[in-house]
Each structure stands twice: as structure tokens, then as C-alpha cells.
Structure 1
Amino acid sequence: MSMIFFEISDLRRFVAQYQHPSGIQRVVLNLIHQVAERVGGDRAALAFLDFGSGEYRWLPVAEIPGGVADVASLSMALGGDGAKGSPLPTLGRYIDRPLAYRFHRAIRDWNAARGREAHFAQRNSSISEWMDAKAEAAGRATARRPAPRDLSADARPGDTLVVLDAAWRDRRIIEMHRRAHEAGLQVALLVHDLCPILCPELFPRQSALEFRDWLTATMAFTDRYLANSQATAADLRAFLDAHGSEAPIDVIPLTQSRLVLPDEAAARAPAVRAGRDRVDIRQGLSDSVASLSTRPYALSVGTLEIRKNLWALAQAWDRLRADTSLDVPRLVLAGRAGWLNEDFEKLMAATGNLGGWIRVVHGPTDAELDHLYRNSLFTVSVSLKEGWGLPIGESLGYGKTGVVSGVSSMPEVGGDMVEYCDPRSISSIEAACRRLVADPDHRAALERRIARARLRGWGDVADDLVGAIGRQR
């Protein structure tokens, strides 16, 4: 029985720090979960570099107690410290802030070691409750942490190593992929985009250089490339041709579906749609996110970095808010802090976020992002370049149209269901946003197209991936 090993070294580092995936991490988690459901958790496995020993390890997906869709279980199984599981007493408020969680855990440990009962009493707890909870958590960690195997000893010719991860950041991982190829494994590599090569001005200098050198090096060990869009495939084909590689490329478009939520958040969602249990869903939201629903807003999701074109979007919104004849919604930006975004940050600091017209939600949880999508008027994605455009697809999954850049892969995602703009033109961005703001009938017509469309789900993506792996053998 041939195995499918999924490279997750970079993902392993990510889940050790964050509970909520974004971008590439979301793609990796959802695809592994879906493929494991199709081929079986005993045939689908996780492969990763043990940064301590320098060895390449693997675990069957079937041995992850909560499955790869549960980030807390995955982190625990891969050697995490458990900060993302059930929080210890008095630490629940820090569950989404790993550094703060560890800091305050250390404070509790210090006070417990010195018998300072008052410290715990002030927090409606006790030293005995703290010690009992720690012992229980340690027991869970031991029970939920399977023993990784040595990939070099267990992999066989005919097995497949699928690289979905952002593996270009570490040369040691690249060397492991080369060794896997030499051992007879078929290596399939998903290229998310070639933005660092084609638009190096949008990335830190060293990152663009490392990405180009990595992609060049992959030609020595990659049997088949996978591209997440026709646009990415065209960019990749041009790059490979320029370097004399005839390696095949399979196009596996990504998804047009809403977020895949953890069980608890998903269970709440139907109650919200039916107009019930609003207090319950409120418990999963920060005060700042919950309060955004008090007035209409447009939503832009993604890392806060230069490629997302946020400075130009803010300029367009500044023009819109100056038109007193328009009932302009607030603009909400949701994502983690990125790079080379100083122009936007300086504009926000100088104008007080355009006098409060722009709100930024840093690192939203899955429940918060779900809430933001559901309650938005429309979404805005005016990136200068993308490999696919996951937030565009997620927006469609929630039945929301949007303003979308008409370049690179983004029209493949949006089809005829969104309003397009030229991301290099502030006037074009303004005009597209103005139309969705000023013409509710047009917005509703686009939403009806979305409702009639057969949108692409993660299961479709997984089927294509399994098919590509089958063709490779």
C-alpha cells in the first residue's frame, strides 16, 4: 500500500505559535484533512523536519486524536506545549495570545511554588486547583502525543511526498526533499504563487532572493508541479521553461467556500442564522469585533502587507467618505501584520484611521472571521497580485459579492459574481466600491448569481489532488 506523505515542517512551526490558521496554513490543513478522508488516515501521513535532531519524521494522520482539522490536537501531537488546548485555570483570556499565555503561566507556577494562596484566591482559584489542572493537562499531553517515525527508514519507492507547505524558508527541509526523491519517492510540489519573483518590490529583499533560489533548486527533485490557478500555472511554466525544465504542471484550483470552523463554532452558526442564541455566539467574539456590527461595513481579509494594496484602498475610501450623498459603510481590515506596509500605517496614524472610518482587526479568530464575513455588506480584495485569492472564494462561500482586482488569478475566483477594478488605479477602486455602495440592486443581483453558482469546495480540490497524485505514479 503506497503512502502519501504531506510536508508540514513550516506548518508545525506555525501551530506552535498560533491557534488560528490563515492563508497557506488553511490550505494545507483543509487539503490534508480531505485527502485523508478519501484515502484513509493510515495512508495519509504528516512529514516534518525535527529541528532538534535534524531527522525527517512522519506520523499517520490516523494517529492525530482530533485530526489535522483540530489545530490544538495537531499542535499537541507534533510536540506543542498544550497552550492551545483547554486553558489552565485563570488563563482563558490568554488562549489566543501564546506569549501572554506562557508568561502568565510562569507567574502562576512561581506563586504556586512559594505557596502564595492569595494570588490564586484573587482569581477565584487555588493552588490545589492549579496543580491538579496541570497534572491533568500533562496526562492529556502524554496520551495525545504519538511517537514520530523515521521517514528515511519507513518510506518506500512508489510513495509520494506532497509539498503543500511554505517549505522554501529552510534549506534543511529542501535537502530532505532531495533525499526523498533519491530514495525513490515521487515528489509533487504545490506552487501557491510566484509573486516574490515576478514582483520582488513587494517583498523584503532577502525573501525574494530565497524564494527564487528555492524554486530553482526544486527542479532537481520535483517530479510534478501543482499550481493553484491557471494564472499561477502560466507563471510557473514560463519560469520552468526559462530554466530548461519540462516537468509537468497540474492545475488544482482552490476553493470558493466559507471557513471550515471548529466543531464548537460550527454548532453555533445555525442558531445565529435562525436568529436565536445571539448571546451564545457573542461569547466567542472580542468586544471590538462584536461592536462592529452596530453599523454597516465592507470587509477586507488578508495579511496587512504591501501586496494587498491597502494604502490605495484607504485613499479610495477617503474619497468615498467625502461624498455626503452616499451612505458609506465603514471599512474593516482583518488579518495579521505583514511587511513593507509603512505607507498605510503612517496614513492611519496621521488621520486617526480616517477619522474612524477604517477599523483594523489584528489576528482574528476563526469565529471572529466567520462573524465578520456573515455580517459584511460586501468584501474588498484589491491585491496587486495573487496566486489564487482565498478571501475572494471565502466571501463567495458566504454569499457575499465584492470588489476584486481584475488581474492575475483573481478573475478565476470571482467569475461574473463580483465587481472588478484596476488595482493600480485609485479612481478605479473608488468607482467599483461606489457602485456596490450606491446601487444595492446591483449588489443583490451579484448575490443572486452567487446563490445560483456551483461553487468549488475543499472536497473538489482534494479530488483533483488525489487524481494528480494517481497520474504521477
Structure 2
Amino acid sequence: MSQIFLDVSRLVTRLYDGLLPTGVDRVGLAYIHRYGSKARAILSEHGFSAVLTEKDSQQTFDWLTSSTRHRNSIRKLVVRACLNHSKSTSPQKGIMLHTSHNGMEFPRYYRSMAKRNIRCVFMVHDLIPLTHAEYCRPGVDNTHRKRVHTAFKHADGLIANSQATLDSLTVEAHHAGLPLPPSVVARLASGVSPLPQASRPLDTRYFVMLGTIEPRKNHWFILHVWRRLVEQLGNAAPKLVIIGRRGWECENAIDMLERCASLQGVVIEEADCPDDRLHAYLHHAQALLFPSFVEGYGMPIAEALGMRVPVIASDLSVFREIAGEIPDYLDPLDGPGWLDRIQAFAQPDSTPRADQLVRIERFREPTWAEHFEQVDQFLDALQ
């Protein structure tokens, strides 16, 4: 295989800021575990890029896969990378793997890679800013369109995390009148490493939502469902654990979390939840709730079902691509349906929950080995 280069700019920035990894970050970390021992790291900003030395690359990969922030070391690394870049004249050769969307929109990024004889392969996680701009921050649709169209023009290959994402890419390329670069579907495995069974974090029945609090995740809707549960069941209402940081344009959900009196003590917010605690919450949950309006993949579904935890989810095609007929599916706006299903799953001897536990035994969890088998075959075909 050719020399691999990994753009780790987003991961380094988030490490410096002390932020826990999101789903996108977990994919980047999986690529470091797969290729890092023989790869070189790339840092980039606004299309300007620098290839780290072998020593600095390995040090960076070690930092990113450890639990320490290394803020001062990261500052020195960035300065050293810039100095080495200004001194370097020798071309490199190989394939650059970029697993976040950051920087895809700058043509000079592709030109700088081409000068080094490095081919560019990007992972595309979703086209949600184009297909559902109403769920994103203003202006993100234009930025993402530029990212995707620039990749159509200049990328040597694209990796889609699902067939649904590749279908969206195909449609967008057709609408834009641009060629779709060579592409492959490589589904994602769980982003959480297997851990020993942990003790129960709560002494009562509860459900889990996992993901950044943002409009398309539908937290506001579920919080209204929970208020109705409290009205109907009082102290017998199950708890809801929301795992994820507060995102953008989610003021309505935050108002419910902070100001709805009936939800106080019933809804538990875990903004910075380490993996061991996340694992414990998921393992003992009545179900994972995933009421999103749209997703590019849905890693939490794979994580939950892989741990044999039931899932109640929106009826999205990408969820059926991942999990088939195993979860209980509902329309994301069916309030009475979600209320009834949650109440049913909360019962000590829940028949619907028991039925899904039987179906879960058929679930075949995507693995990183399968993912990288697809990616490696794709990269070999590009050479």
C-alpha cells in the first residue's frame, strides 16, 4: 500500500480545547489506530497545510489516542510544523485520508497535495446542510455545498459512511452537473470500545438519548413527551438521560431543560460523559431513543444494538440500512406513539421490549475490520 497521510487538524484542535470526541472524531481516531503506525500526519487551516515529520507524526498520534490534553506540547508542535514546512522542498507521495469535512472547500488544499504527489480521499458523513438546511446554522449550507462541489472537482476518491450518503452524493453531483469521483461505501463500527460490564448508574428505570443537542436530533419533542409522562405517572415516570453537549439553535430544548419544573430531577443532562460512564448508562437503559429527523449514519444505534440494548428510533432509511427490522420505528412527530412505546418499554415485564431483545440476537454489528477492508480495497484500486 502507498504511504498514508492522515489529516488530523480537527482532532488536534479539539484535543487542545479539551473537548470529548464526537462521532466524527471517533472515526478519525479509528483511522489512527488502523494506519497510524506507518502514517504521516497533516495539519491544515483554510487550505494551507503542513506534513509533519515521522517523529512528530507518531507523537501526535500518541497524544490523540491518549487521555491527556498536552496543550503546551500542541502549541510547540504547530510552530515546529510551520517551520519545517517552510524549510521543506522535497515532495512526498502517497494517499491522504481526511475523515472530517473541515477544509474540503479550499482548492488550494488539493493543489498543495498534488504538488506533493499525494492523492486526496475524503470521507463524507452526510449532506444534511444541503438536504435539510433548516436544521443547521445559517450559512452552513453554502459552506457544505462548496465543500462537496470542490471535492467533486478535485478529490481522487470519496468514502461514504452509508449507502444513503452515497445516494445523496450521486443526486447532488447530478444536480450540479459535476462528475462523482470514484466512491465506496464503508459502514462505520461502534465508536465506543468494549468495556467490562459496569454497575447500574441509576437505581430506577431510565432511557438514554445520545448526541449533540441540536434541532435535527429532536430533543425538544422528546422533552415534551417526558413532561406528559410526568403528568400521567408522577413519581413513577422513568428518567431520561441526555448524553451530549449543547449545540446550536437549541434554545427551546435548553428552556425545557432549565425552566420546566416538572422535568427537574427526572431528566439528567450529561454534557461531558466519559466512555466508561456512557457505557454504563447504555448498558442498563430500557432503550436508546433516537428520534432524529435526518441522519447521515447513526453510530449510536450500532453501539446500542451491539451491546444488546433495545432501540426506539425514527423510521429513517439509513437506520434500516444499519439495523434492519430490529429497532422499534416511529414517525419523529408521532407524539402519542412515542409516549405509548416509552411507557410500554418502561414496564418491568415489557413484552415489546422482550420481543426486540429476541430480534437483537440477529443483529450483526458492523466492524472496523470490515470497514477498513473496504477502504483498503478502494485505495488499492485508486493506485
TM surpasses 0.5: yes
Q: Which moved more, 1:332-341 or 1:463-472?
A: 463-472
For 2:230 and 2:289, locate their aligned partners in 1 and report how far apart those are by CA, in whole Å.
16
Against the structure 1 CA distance between its residues 294 and 343, is the aligned structure 2 distance closer, same or farther, given a 3 Å change threshold?
same
Q: 2:72 aligns with which of 66, 70, 81?
A: 81
Q: Which moved more, 1:240-249 or 1:193-202?
A: 240-249
Cα offset for 1:325? 10
- 1:450 aligns to 2:360 (yes or no): yes
Cα offset for 1:150? 4.0
- For 1:242-321, what aligned pairs fall within 5 Å after superposition? 242-244=175-177, 245-255=179-189, 257=190, 259-260=192-193, 266=195, 269=196, 272=198, 292-321=201-230
- 1:354 aligns to 2:263 (yes or no): yes
- For 1:127-142, what aligned pairs fall within 5 Å after superposition? none
Q: 1:440 aligns with which of 329, 350, 354?
A: 350
Amino acid aligned to 1:191: V
Contact 1:300 1:334 in 2 (8 A): yes
Which has the greater radius of gyration? 1
Secondary structure, counterpart of 2:297 in structure 1: coil
Cα offset for 1:168? 3.9
TM-score by length of 2: 0.87
- For 1:79-228, what aligned pairs fall within 5 Å after superposition? 80-81=71-72, 148=81, 150=85, 153=89, 155-157=91-93, 159-168=94-103, 175-181=108-114, 183-228=116-161
Contact 1:168 1:211 in 2 (8 A): no
Q: For residue 462 of structure 1, what is the aligned residue in structure 2?
A: 372
Secondary structure, counterpart of 2:258 in structure 1: helix
Secondary structure, counterpart of 1:81 in structure 2: helix
Secondary structure, counterpart of 2:153 in structure 1: coil
For 1:373 and 1:155, locate their aligned partners in 2 and report how far apart those are by CA, in whole Å.
48
Secondary structure, counterpart of 2:20 in structure 1: coil
For 1:354 and 1:55, locate their aligned partners in 2 and report how far apart those are by CA, in whole Å.
48
Against the structure 1 CA distance between its residues 65 and 230, is the aligned structure 2 distance closer, same or farther, given a 3 Å change threshold?
closer
Q: Which moved more, 1:16-25 or 1:443-452?
A: 443-452
Q: For residue 315 of structure 2, what is the aligned residue in structure 1?
A: 406
Cα offset for 1:146? 12
Contact 1:35 1:466 in 2 (8 A): no
Which structure 2 segments of 5+ residues have no match?
A: none
Secondary structure, counterpart of 1:234 in structure 2: helix
Against the structure 1 CA distance between its residues 216 and 81, is the aligned structure 2 distance closer, same or farther, given a 3 Å change threshold?
same
- For 1:7-26, what aligned pairs fall within 5 Å after superposition? 7-18=7-18, 20-26=20-26
Secondary structure, counterpart of 2:72 in structure 1: coil
Cα offset for 1:176? 2.0
Amino acid aligned to 1:63: Q
Cα offset for 1:81? 2.2
Q: 2:44 aligns with which of 40, 45, 49?
A: 49
- For 1:54-69, what aligned pairs fall within 5 Å after superposition? 55-60=49-54, 63-64=58-59, 67=62
Q: 1:394 aligns with which of 273, 289, 303?
A: 303
Which structure 1 segments of 5+ residues have no match?
A: 84-140, 273-277, 279-289
Cα offset for 1:445? 3.0
Q: 2:284 aligns with which of 375, 380, 383?
A: 375
Please give the per-residue CA displacement for 1:373-407, whole angstroms capped at 9, x wherever unaligned. Answer: 12212110111111101111111122101111111
Q: Which moved more, 1:215-224 or 1:429-438?
A: 429-438
Please give the per-residue CA displacement for 1:406-443, whole angstroms capped at 9, x wherever unaligned. Answer: 11412222322211111133233334323423462331
Against the structure 1 CA distance between its residues 192 and 154, is the aligned structure 2 distance closer, same or farther, given a 3 Å change threshold?
farther
Please give the per-residue CA displacement for 1:108-133, whole angstroms capped at 9, x wherever unaligned. Answer: xxxxxxxxxxxxxxxxxxxxxxxxxx
TM-score by length of 1: 0.71
Amino acid aligned to 2:186: I
Cα offset for 1:353? 5.8
Against the structure 1 CA distance between its residues 166 and 389, is the aligned structure 2 distance closer, same or farther, given a 3 Å change threshold?
same
